[in-house]
Amino acid sequence: MSPPTRLLFIRHARSVWNEAGLWQGQADPPLSEAGLVEAQRLAERLRRMPAIDHIYASDLQRAQTTARIVAEALGRPLTIDPVWRERGIGQLEGLTTDEIIARFPDAWASRLHGSMHAPGGETPEDVLRRAVAGCEAVLARHDRQTVAIVSHGGMILATLVHLLGLSPIGFTRLNGGYHTAISQVDIIDGHARLERLNDHAHLELP
């Protein structure tokens, strides 16, 4: 059996908006001080894992900064690509969860059946199209290599739904939510296999 193409989807470290409980979408707040520590812990974890050939990251600074810390620690090349940006969530950006529930109850309820329909934001179909384009580009460039992609919770979720061939209800079944968590998909002879999901063991260390 040929070696797999290994994709490590990694959520960015904590931003100042995460600490304030604000939904970000494509807003661009920086990492918090705690987020910088998380990124260093992630780098140490990845240093102990099988070697990464290339790193990709969203151009939003919370992902880009996380990826630069990792790339510098591992001495690996980094490509910044806006295809890995978080989903645009329109009128929900900058709101707390309680504010979203109060102001946009229909949008909040839509989460029970699939990806949230964010007013004024990207549609779930738009996000899936970006996920498809991003995966096709990476797989074409890095056959049988290990690639880390530092992105965002919503975008990682859409990408996993695409790669695993899940229906829209898959958005309610998977979770990539912890900051710097690693979700691993191995591509073997064209078939995707989920090997780990939302692995954040490095944040549990003392």
Clarify whether 33 is annotated catalytic.
no
> Buried (b) or exposed (e) across 57-79, using 16+ Cβ within 10 A?
bbebbbbbbbbbbbbeebebebb
Active-site position among 12, 152, 162, 179: 12
β-strands 182-188, 191-199 pairing: antiparallel
Asked if 86 is an active-site residue, the reply is yes
The one catalytic residue among 38, 86, 93, 122: 86
From residue 4, how far is each of 129, 147, 181, 185, 193 by CA, in Å?
A: 24, 11, 21, 9, 10
Residues whose CB is less than 8 angstroms from the CB of residue 143 and which lie 6 or more positions away in sequence, other chains included:
5
| Percent helix, percent strand, percent coil in the chain, to nearest 5 | 45, 20, 35
Beta strands in 22-83 (DSSP E): 54-57, 78-80
User: Which amino acid is it at 38?
Assistant: E
Q: Which of 77, 87, 34 is nearest to 54 (CA)?
A: 77
Catalytic residue set: 12, 86
